[in-house]
Structure formats: C-alpha cells, structure tokens
C-alpha cells in the first residue's frame, strides 16, 4: 500500500514538489506577507498597485541590489575578486551612469510600466491572495521567463553588435569597458526597448497572477546586476544554477566587445560557438594561475 502511494505521489513532477512542500516547516513570513498583501489590496486601486507599485519595486530593488557592488570599491579585501583590477570604478563614470539611469527609468520604462494595469485587466490577471500561486509554481514560471528572455536577448543582442548598427545604439552600453552593477540598465533608449521586449514576452505567455510580475522583476534584476558587477565572488549561490553565465562570462564581453551575447545562460553561446574566445581566455588564465602557484 505504501509503495503504491509513493508511486502515485511521484507520478508527476508537480505532485512530487507538492509532497516535498508538505514536509517543509511552515514559513514564518507567510502570515505577515499575507497581511501586508491584503492591506495593499484594501487600500490601493489595481492601477496604483500595477503602476506605482511596480515602479517602486523596480527602483528599490535595482539600487538595493547595486549597493553591495558599490560598497566593494571601498573595501580593500574585495579588490582581489574584481575581474578587471586595472580598471577601478570612478565617481565620474558612476555619476554619469546614474543620470542616464534616471532618464531611462522614468522616461522610457515608466510609460511601459503604465501599461501593466491594462495588461492585467485585458487578460483578467488576478491580484487576490487566494489565487496566488505556490512558491514552486512561481519559480517554475520565472525560470520559463528567464529562458524566453535569454533566447530573445542572445539573438537581438548579437544583432545589435552588427557593424552597421552597433555604433548607433549598443555602443552606449559599452562605454564602460569594466562594468559595474549600476551599469546593468545603462543603455540607449532604443536598446532599452529592443532588449527589454524579451522581459515582457515571458510575462505575456506565462503570467497567471500579478505577483509573477514582481517575482520576475526581482530575479531578472538580481541576475543582470550580478553579471555586470565586475566581481567574481566565491560561493556566489547563483553559480549553482546549471548553465548560469555569471559575471566573468559577461565581463569578458565588455572587455572585448565580442562573444558571450546571452544574458543568463551559456547554452546559446556554446551552441553557436560565440563563446570560443572566452573559453580560450579561461584556459589561458588557468595555465597562468598554475605557473604562479
């Protein structure tokens, strides 16, 4: 009987995850989060939540996730983890980046965010607590969004490096040869629209609750700020994700202006051979490290 129950439980991945979830202790943050969510629903309109709520989530998380990398430049111990040690951050570059970010966030991204409410209304996307998906379904959909965005980003990013297009649009993002976290969304307005489209495709296909918008924003910001951080930190939990590109992968792209076009995963670059120079570079660095040991 017990054997039959085990087979039944693990007959599908969804049931297996549900079974594991039932064994986990109750999340102590769930009740406070539920109360906060319901308070938001009771005191703000859907338009305010979808528009101003989304803007606040993006702005707060963006600069919060940028903060560690910003502080690293003042900590001598962290310098050994900086990938391009000969190109330190400067106040001039960071201030220039910050000003462009404010323009992009409020003049380009905010109008797009304003459409979020109409999107949720047109497709009847729920806001209520009762229909909020479980954490594992949310993670699965965010992973789906990441795969879709990464695919879009690879091909469109590679197109933006075409010699007839590069100097008109994508060159702005490459002003800083040694990237830093805040530079993740430093780009030409057209690039913000072109590459940003990949972010919304997954939402349009997979969104079943407004919480997915904010969960996907959170994950995408963590990823893009990490790969632009300029630091290769040991024990970075993101590196545990299979095929995750990471900061060294994208830093090479900024250093050499070629190859490593994907945003999150490495499979497209491997499939099309656009990581060959990066692979050779890594092998060379390993040989140098062995000689210095």
* 19 lies in some domain: no
Nearest to 250 by CA among 234, 269, 273, 271: 269
Alpha-carbon gap, residue 237 to 247, rounded angstroms: 13
Averaged pLDDT, 211-226: 97
* 115 lies in some domain: yes
Query: Predicted confidence band at 282 (pLDDT cuts at 50, 70, 90)?
Result: confident
Whole-Å CA distances, 21 to 11, 26, 80, 133, 144 = 16, 9, 40, 13, 21
Query: Predicted confidence band at 8 (pLDDT cuts at 50, 70, 90)?
Result: very low
Query: Predicted confidence band at 26 (pLDDT cuts at 50, 70, 90)?
Result: confident
Domains of the chain: total: 1
Looking at the predicted structure, is the pLDDT value of residue 5 above 70?
no
Alpha-carbon gap, residue 40 to 172, rounded angstroms: 39
Domain range holding 182? 44-232
Looking at the predicted structure, is the pLDDT value of residue 23 above 80?
no
* 98 lies in some domain: yes
pLDDT at 290: 66
For 93-116, the pLDDT digits (tens) are 999 999 999 999 999 999 999 999
Q: CB–CB of 153/195 below 8 Å?
A: yes
pLDDT at 21: 64
Looking at the predicted structure, is the pLDDT value of residue 288 above 80?
no
List, in order, residues 6 or more apart from 250 with CB less than 8 Å away. 179, 227, 228, 260
* 176 lies in some domain: yes
For 231-256, the pLDDT digits (tens) are 999 989 999 999 999 999 999 999 99
Whole-Å CA distances, 147 to 107, 236, 259 = 28, 21, 19
Q: Is pLDDT larger for residue 21 or for residue 8?
A: 21
* 139 lies in some domain: yes
Averaged pLDDT, 187-214: 96
Looking at the predicted structure, is the pLDDT value of residue 267 above 70?
yes
What residues are paired with 265 via a beta bridge? 244
Looking at the predicted structure, is the pLDDT value of residue 285 above 80?
no
Beta strands (DSSP E) in the chain are: none
* 219 lies in some domain: yes
* 72 lies in some domain: yes
For the chain, give the percent of residues with pLDDT over 90: 82
Residue 59 dihedral angles phi and psi, to the nearest 5°: -65, -45
Query: Predicted confidence band at 144 (pLDDT cuts at 50, 70, 90)?
Result: very high
Which sign, positive or negative, has the C-alpha torsion 193, 196, 202, 208?
negative
Tokens 């969510």, located at residue = 37
* 237 lies in some domain: no
pLDDT at 87: 92
């Amino acid at each position: 009987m017990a054997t039959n129950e085990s087979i039944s439980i693990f007959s599908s991945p969804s049931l297996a995850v549900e079974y594991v979830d039932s064994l986990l202790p109750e999340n102590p943050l769930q009740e406070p989060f539920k109360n906060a969510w319901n308070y938001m629903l009771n005191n703000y309109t859907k338009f305010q939540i979808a528009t101003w709520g989304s803007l606040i989530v993006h702005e707060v998380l963006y600069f919060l996730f940028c903060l560690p990398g910003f502080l690293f430049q003042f900590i001598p111990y962290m310098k050994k983890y900086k990938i391009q040690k000969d190109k330190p951050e400067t106040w001039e570059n960071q201030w220039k980046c910050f000003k462009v970010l404010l323009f992009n966030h409020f003049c380009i991204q905010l109008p797009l965010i304003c459409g979020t409410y109409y999107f949720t209304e047109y497709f009847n996307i729920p806001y209520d607590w009762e229909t909020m998906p479980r954490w594992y379904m949310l993670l699965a959909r965010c992973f789906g969004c990441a795969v879709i965005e990464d695919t879009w980003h690879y091909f469109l990013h590679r197109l933006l490096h075409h010699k007839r297009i590069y100097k008109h649009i994508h060159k702005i993002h490459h002003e800083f040869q040694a990237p830093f976290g805040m530079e993740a969304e430093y780009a030409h307005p057209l690039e913000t629209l072109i590459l940003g489209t990949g972010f919304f495709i997954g939402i349009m296909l997979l969104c079943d609750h407004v919480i997915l918008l904010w969960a996907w924003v959170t994950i995408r910001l963590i990823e893009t700020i990490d790969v632009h951080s300029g630091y290769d930190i040991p024990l970075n939990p993101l590196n545990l994700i299979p095929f995750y590109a990471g900061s060294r992968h994208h830093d090479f792209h900024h250093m050499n202006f070629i190859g490593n076009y994907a945003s999150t995963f490495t499979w497209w670059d491997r499939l099309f051979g656009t990581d060959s120079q990066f692979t050779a570079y890594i092998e060379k660095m390993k040989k140098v490290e062995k000689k210095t040991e």
